[in-house]
């Protein structure tokens, strides 16, 4: 079973040289720490930056330079700044090669719910609806089961949707799964020590796992 | 030379009235029109509709206006980090319309570019799409979203000249240029007000034609919301 | 009867302090030479410049700095440069206070034709259709009659239209005329030495001139 | 570091084929991709559809491609000053679609911004509106116009870095940034190619994400179409 860093590490392997990548808040942010050497990527922050660098050294924080999580960050050689309309313009026109974001639920046909829980204070969707509706390549980083032990990979999302039929790949603490164009989760890899049977047990949506799946290699 | 300079925030916002619709630039607390907000709190105008990506924090930004119950409605993409906001929302004092961030930005741009509506895939198949026209182009569904109609846009720039040309610094640019284009009256506050000819015409982000009033803000706190740093090695 | 400079001079009197103005090619360009002292205006050139200055001194021409007529020009303190989309964005959103352009024909309901003559090589509408469809305040600088002595102020344009119901004021070699919201040319001023009767004679469209009109004062 | 640099114009345009649809930046002869045009003439590709505000003059710009009869169709707002163009048009060799300049620019922007269509009042009531959907917003009629779909965009910038970031100089900016955003493959030629970190992130007009290939042009004539000067007093 993977911890958050493990999920991030596994997702980092999906990043190809030359990619422009948008990382959501939470586990997706951790992915930046695991990008392999020799893989050149540019991180987009949807508040208006391409080429997001690491956090600043203490004392060098700049109130004018933050990421979409409102954290102080830095630029890198080659960075560019633009306004919010252009930022979502490049998202909508699919110039971003890969989007990684978290989810509360994903359905077997690629729907995603990650912004609203009825009865709880709703903070808003931020840029998530734009990202999931536009991106050609979305990977979801999420927990396979909730605290009550219930599957979050469902036949149909129970929570209000963020986007429909848009997710292609899910990486959880237990597995890597593709979402098939015709519907259903296809087991691609298992986390170390996790059995196919267990994954079947905690995947409520349609699962294709009869061929088994290799254990993932993280290093 | 056309001169847009006003004496300060109080004069700039003089005709913002109870019930006005305002756009306020900024992302989180980054690039917000601090001096205009202070003046609005002092003036005490009520029942404002505020179009702004976020709603500030309890004691800064639009949060200050919420404390004084000056806001009737927020149109935002994300409104976390604000307890008073949550209280007013749950009590029904405050109305909130949540819209996708890209839709928010593009509806501003549409107003500035004289386009009455735009198409975006954001929100298709979600509750955001309810009641909206859906249209298919090349096999993909889009929502038709309307340009915003705001009485005033309040934006914050780094430098500006007396004719209203603006330059933003780093990610404090965010929504400011698109809102600057979109206000019926656009008020720009700047950290540094300079004479025409000081700014390179190629570096100007917002041409002065979009700006109706400009002043150098008396004070900038520029508060940081999430101070994240790394150790020196 | 006015010459081209006279028409430009008369139109210049319509410009108010603080105006942003777009000048078309031909007579409208001449208007810049007659803007009164103390009247501050900013000239927009739709290829992407606000704050168009005079022609450069010889030897200082810059191939990268031209106006919409492709002439070498200069910038002024306060000038700004932008791309073509923003340029027409500010035109469509009516940030330009006054547009002055030429016409082949204008109709009594404010239609304008100025881009195409059937049977002749058509060069294109350039930015004219955007300008006439968007601007809130358009003045047309034109000849009252063509070389054959026929009126160009018509009940209905005979040439393909550039825009419909958009012109508010016309300045010709003979007169200043408003176009009334309900239709018809209203004579406002006569050029020096031109009679109301003559204007009636060469105005094919509906003309309201029974109250007479003063002779224009140009200086 | 992502590196978009190609050796020169010939490599940059290597996969432009007979029948390709190209966008070419520039206004008149100002800010045109001179080196790409030279390479296209040399390569001799035919039946091109060219989206460009103008069509050059007889012996410069797109005019050079017209001389070689490489252009099947021009989509432009103004095509004067070109005798060979006129000859081909009248003989039926060349197809021309004239569209309003603002519509041209905004259809490029729409492509770059992922908006399948936009609304503009330009052309309502004229022959430009024929066959197009007309829609009324707030009492005013607008035409719905579609985003362009171009295989390649060829743009010319002043400076660019190896990651594709571009800065334009003065009014040579014109259509270049909106076309840069709109090409499936965007090729940028620059007067000066610099290392990443040289250009101020706040000054970049076209972020590198939009640019697929970049090179420093071997030669820039930068011809002036209308040399207008005033006497020194």
Q: Provide, as residue numbers in chain D, all residues whose Cβ is less than 8 Å from the Cβ of C84.
A: 27, 53, 101-102, 104-105, 174-175, 178
Q: Do chains D and B touch (3 or more CB pairs under 8 A)?
A: yes
Enumerate the β-bridge partners of residue B136: B141
Residues C24-43, mean pLDDT to the nearest whole number = 93
The confidence band for C210, taking pLDDT boundaries of 50, 70 and 90, is: confident
Enumerate the β-bridge partners of residue D154: D24, D187
Considering only the C-alpha atoms of chain D, give the largest distance between any 2 of them, rounded to a whole number of Å: 55
**Sequence-ordered list of residues with C-beta below 8 angstroms from that of A182, at least 6 positions apart, any chain:** none
Averaged confidence pLDDT in chain D? 97
For D231, the closest chain C residue by CA position comes to C57
Q: Say whether D209 and A91 touch across the interface (CB within 8 A).
A: no
**Sequence-ordered list of residues with C-beta below 8 angstroms from that of A180, at least 6 positions apart, any chain:** A186, A208
Q: Say whether B196 and C77 touch across the interface (CB within 8 A).
A: yes
Q: Say whether A125 and B172 touch across the interface (CB within 8 A).
A: no
Residues A118-131, mean pLDDT to the nearest whole number = 93
For A134, the closest chain D residue by CA position comes to D114
Q: Say whether A84 and B171 touch across the interface (CB within 8 A).
A: no
Question: Are the CB atoms for C15 and C40 separated by under 8 Å?
Answer: no
Q: How close, in Å, is residue D37 to chain B by CA atoms?
A: 26
Using CB atoms within 10 Å of the CB of residue C149, give its burial: 0 to 12 exposed, 13 to 18 middle, 19+ buried. exposed
- Chain B partners (3+ C-beta pairs within 8 A): A, C, D
DSSP string, chain A: ---HHHHHHHHHTTPPTT-EEEE-SSHHHHHGGGPPTT---EEEETTTEEEE-PPPBTT---TT-B-TT-BB--EEEEEEE--HHHHHHHHHTT--SEEEEE-SEEETTS-EE-S--TTS-----TTHHHHHHH-SSEEEE--SB-TTS-BSEESS-SSPPSBSS---EEE-SSEEEEEPTTSSEEEEEE-TT--HHHHHHT--S-EE-TT--PBP---
What's the pLDDT tens digit per position in D3-48?
A: 999 999 999 999 999 999 999 999 999 999 999 999 999 999 999 9
Enumerate the β-bridge partners of residue D5: D214
Residue C119 has a pLDDT of 86
Q: How close, in Å, is residue D68 to chain B by CA atoms?
A: 35
Residues A173-193, mean pLDDT to the nearest whole number = 97
Question: Are the CB atoms for A67 and A73 separated by under 8 Å?
Answer: yes
Q: Say whether D114 and A89 touch across the interface (CB within 8 A).
A: yes
**Sequence-ordered list of residues with C-beta below 8 angstroms from that of B228, at least 6 positions apart, any chain:** A55, A61, A71, A72, A73
Sign of CA dihedral C16, C22, C27, C32: positive
Residue D90 has a pLDDT of 87
The confidence band for A218, taking pLDDT boundaries of 50, 70 and 90, is: confident
Residue B154 has a pLDDT of 98
- Strand C153-154 and strand C105-107: the pairing is parallel
Residue D122 structure tokens = 């330009």
**Other CB atoms within 10 Å distance of the CB of residue A75:** 21
Closest by Cα among C212, C217, C209, C216 to C190: C216
Does A110 touch chain B if contact means CB atoms closer than 8 Å?
Answer: no
For D113, the closest chain C residue by CA position comes to C85
Can you give the length of chain C in residues?
219
Residue D32 structure tokens = 């045109």
Does A156 touch chain D if contact means CB atoms closer than 8 Å?
Answer: no
Using CB atoms within 10 Å of the CB of residue C181, give its burial: 0 to 12 exposed, 13 to 18 middle, 19+ buried. exposed
Closest by Cα among C45, C28, C5 to C101: C28
- Among the partner-chain residues B31, B77, B104, the one whose CB lies closest to the CB of A64 is B31
Q: What percent of chain C has pLDDT over 70?
A: 100
- pLDDT higher than 90, residue D81: no
Q: Provide, as residue numbers in chain A, all residues whose Cβ is less than 8 Å from the Cβ of D208.
A: 42, 50, 78, 80
The size of the C-D interface in CB pairs under 8 A is 176
Q: Would you call D193 helix, strand, or coil by DSSP?
A: strand
Q: Provide, as residue numbers in chain C, all residues whose Cβ is less than 8 Å from the Cβ of B106.
A: none
Residue C66 has a pLDDT of 97
Residue B77 structure tokens = 């993409």
Residues C197-202, mean pLDDT to the nearest whole number = 96
Sign of CA dihedral A171, A174, A179, A183: negative
What's the pLDDT tens digit per position in A3-22?
A: 999 999 999 999 999 999 99
**Sequence-ordered list of residues with C-beta below 8 angstroms from that of D66, at least 6 positions apart, any chain:** D55, D56, D82, D84, D85, D88, D94
Helix %, strand %, coil % for chain D, to 5? 25, 30, 45
Task: End-to-end CA distance of chain D: give it in Å, rounded.
Answer: 53
Q: Which residues of C are catalytic?
A: 46
Owner of token pair 């790394």: B230
What's the pLDDT tens digit per position in B82-96?
A: 888 888 988 999 999
Element (H, E) at C185: strand C185-190
Residue B233 has a pLDDT of 73
Question: What's the rounded Cα separation, in Å, for the pair A163 and B120?
Answer: 13
Q: Is A46 noted as a catalytic residue in this protein?
A: yes
Q: Say whether A56 and B223 touch across the interface (CB within 8 A).
A: no
Question: Are the CB atoms for C139 and C13 separated by under 8 Å?
Answer: no
Enumerate the β-bridge partners of residue A75: A52
For B172, the closest chain A residue by CA position comes to A64
Owner of token pair 């009590």: B91
Question: Are the CB atoms for D214 and D162 separated by under 8 Å?
Answer: yes
The confidence band for A214, taking pLDDT boundaries of 50, 70 and 90, is: very high
Q: How close, in Å, is residue B206 to chain C by CA atoms?
A: 8
What does each C-alpha distance from D210 to A174, B118, C219, D201 come to in angstroms? 37, 21, 54, 15
Question: What's the rounded Cα separation, in Å, for the pair B101 and A45?
Answer: 13
- Range name among A100-109, A204-213, B175-184 with the lowest pLDDT average: A204-213
Closest by Cα among B156, B233, B142 to B187: B156
- pLDDT higher than 80, residue D233: no
Q: Provide, as residue numbers in chain A, all residues whose Cβ is less than 8 Å from the Cβ of B178.
A: 83-85
Does A85 touch chain D if contact means CB atoms closer than 8 Å?
Answer: yes
The confidence band for D133, taking pLDDT boundaries of 50, 70 and 90, is: very high
Does A134 touch chain D if contact means CB atoms closer than 8 Å?
Answer: yes
What's the pLDDT tens digit per position in C90-143?
A: 999 999 999 999 999 999 999 999 999 998 888 999 999 999 999 999 999 999
The confidence band for D159, taking pLDDT boundaries of 50, 70 and 90, is: very high
Q: Would residue D207 be called left, alpha or beta, if left means φ above 0 and alpha means ψ between -120 and 50 degrees?
A: beta
Q: Provide, as residue numbers in chain B, all residues whose Cβ is less than 8 Å from the Cβ of C18.
A: 2
Question: Are the CB atoms for C66 and D27 separated by under 8 Å?
Answer: yes
Q: What percent of chain A has pLDDT over 70?
A: 100
What's the pLDDT tens digit per position in A25-70?
A: 889 999 999 999 999 999 999 999 999 999 999 999 999 999 999 9
**Sequence-ordered list of residues with C-beta below 8 angstroms from that of C192, at least 6 positions apart, any chain:** C1, C2, C215, C216, C218
- Among the partner-chain residues A47, A58, A82, the one whose CB lies closest to the CB of B27 is A47
| Residue of D3, D114, D180, D184 to mutate, interface with A, max A Cβ within 10 Å | D114
For A50, the closest chain D residue by CA position comes to D207
- Strand C207-208 and strand C185-190: the pairing is parallel
The confidence band for C82, taking pLDDT boundaries of 50, 70 and 90, is: very high
DSSP string, C84-153: HHHHHHHHHTT--SEEEEE-SEEETTS-EE-S--TTS-----TTHHHHHHH-SSEEEE--SB-TTS-BSE
Closest by Cα among B170, B189, B168, B150 to B35: B189
The confidence band for B125, taking pLDDT boundaries of 50, 70 and 90, is: very high
Q: Do chains B and C touch (3 or more CB pairs under 8 A)?
A: yes
Question: What's the rounded Cα separation, in Å, for the pair B2 and B137?
Answer: 44
Geometric angle at alpha carbon B59, from B53 and B61, rounded to 5°: 30
Residues D221-228, mean pLDDT to the nearest whole number = 96
What's the pLDDT tens digit per position in D51-78?
A: 999 999 999 999 999 999 999 999 999 9
The size of the B-D interface in CB pairs under 8 A is 46
Does A126 touch chain B if contact means CB atoms closer than 8 Å?
Answer: yes
Task: End-to-end CA distance of chain B: give it in Å, rounded.
Answer: 53
Q: Provide, as residue numbers in chain D, all residues whose Cβ is less than 8 Å from the Cβ of C136.
A: none
Residues D131-139, mean pLDDT to the nearest whole number = 97
- pLDDT higher than 90, residue C178: yes
What's the pLDDT tens digit per position in C53-69?
A: 999 999 999 999 999 99
Closest by Cα among C169, C174, C172, C198 to C186: C169
Q: Provide, as residue numbers in chain D, all residues whose Cβ is less than 8 Å from the Cβ of C123.
A: 78-80
Closest by Cα among A99, A54, A53, A108 to A78: A53
Q: Provide, as residue numbers in chain B, all residues whose Cβ is less than 8 Å from the Cβ of A130.
A: 100-103, 120, 122
């Amino acid at each position: 079973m993977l911890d958050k860093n493990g999920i991030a590490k596994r997702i980092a392997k999906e990043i190809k040289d030359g990619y422009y990548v948008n990382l959501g808040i939470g586990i997706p942010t951790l992915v930046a720490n695991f990008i392999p050497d020799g893989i050149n990527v540019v991180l987009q922050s949807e508040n208006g930056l391409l080429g997001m660098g690491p956090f600043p050294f203490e004392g060098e924080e700049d109130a004018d330079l933050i990421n979409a999580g409102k954290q102080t960050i830095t630029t890198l050689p080659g960075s560019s700044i633009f306004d919010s309309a252009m930022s979502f313009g490049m998202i909508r026109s699919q110039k971003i090669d890969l989007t990684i974001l978290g989810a509360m639920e994903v359905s077997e046909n690629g729907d995603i719910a990650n912004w609203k829980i009825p009865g709880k204070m709703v903070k808003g969707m931020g840029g998530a609806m734009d990202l999931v509706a536009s991106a050609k390549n979305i990977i979801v980083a999420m927990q396979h089961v909730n605290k009550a032990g219930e599957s979050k990979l469902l036949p149909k999302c129970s929570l209000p949707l963020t986007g429909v039929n848009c997710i292609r790949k899910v990486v959880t603490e237990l597995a890597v799964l593709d979402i098939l164009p015709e519907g259903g989760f296809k087991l691609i890899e298992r986390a170390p020590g996790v059995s196919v049977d267990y994954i079947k047990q905690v995947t409520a949506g349609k699962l294709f796992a009869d061929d088994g799946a290799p254990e993932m290699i993280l290093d | 030379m056309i001169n847009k300079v006003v004496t300060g925030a109080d004069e700039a916002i003089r005709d913002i009235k109870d019930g006005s619709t305002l756009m306020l630039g900024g992302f989180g607390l980054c690039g917000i029109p601090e001096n205009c907000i202070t003046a609005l709190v002092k003036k005490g105008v009520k029942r404002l509709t505020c179009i702004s990506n976020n709603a500030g924090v309890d004691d800064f930004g639009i949060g200050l206006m919420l404390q004084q119950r000056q806001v009737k409605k927020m149109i935002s993409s994300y409104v976390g980090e604000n307890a008073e906001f949550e209280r007013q929302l749950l009590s029904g004092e405050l109305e909130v319309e949540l819209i996708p961030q890209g839709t928010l930005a593009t509806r501003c741009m549409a107003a500035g570019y004289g386009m009455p509506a735009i198409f975006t895939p954001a929100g298709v198949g979600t509750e955001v799409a309810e009641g909206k026209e859906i249209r298919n182009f090349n096999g993909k569904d889009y929502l038709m979203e309307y340009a915003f109609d705001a009485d005033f846009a309040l934006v914050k720039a780094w430098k500006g000249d007396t004719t209203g040309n603006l330059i933003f610094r780093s990610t404090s640019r965010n929504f400011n240029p698109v809102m600057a284009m979109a206000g019926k009256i656009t008020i720009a506050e700047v950290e540094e007000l300079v004479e025409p000819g000081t700014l390179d015409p190629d570096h100007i982000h917002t041409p002065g034609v979009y700006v109706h009033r400009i002043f150098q803000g008396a004070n900038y706190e520029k508060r940081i919301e999430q101070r994240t740093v790394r150790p020196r090695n």
